[in-house]
Amino acid sequence: MRIHNLYEDENGESHFRDIEIEWAEERNFSKYSARMPTNGIIFRETSGDYNLDWHPAPRRQYIVNLDAGVKITASDGESREIKAGEIILVEDLTGKGHLSQSVGGQLRHSLFIPVE
């Protein structure tokens, strides 16, 4: 399983990379990763006209888009559309951060899962 990752380098620039989730167990027609430490869950609804200027992530967290996408632009200029059903781990906690923008004017529901 591939997820997006937005991280910052030693100069505070944010960049994208992909992370492959490793499978630790397989049983009953399913594969499972190892348990990952998290700290709660936050439910979010974002308006279809969402367009947030440069900002760092408030914490390390997984974001799971449920029903619409978001366009995120890293400070190095790369943009990605994180679609419904996709996951991103945001880790750009300092520096310039990133831009976030709704896609297609759609209301978006997402889950924020803070990482310990």
Domain boundaries defined on the chain: 2-114
Q: Which fold would CATH assign to domain 2-114?
A: Jelly Rolls (2.60.120)
Look at residue 116 and tell me whether its pLDDT is greater than 90.
Answer: no
d(CA 45, CA 108): 6
pLDDT, tens digit (0-9, with 9 covering 90-100), for 33-86: 999 999 999 999 999 999 999 999 999 999 999 999 999 999 999 999 999 999
Please measure the distance between the N-terminal and C-terminal CA atoms of the chain and give it in whole angstroms. 22
pLDDT score of 102 more than 90: yes
Q: Residues 2-12: what's their mean pLDDT?
A: 96
Residue 105's nearest CA partner among 69, 65, 54 is 69
Provide the mean pLDDT of the chain: 97
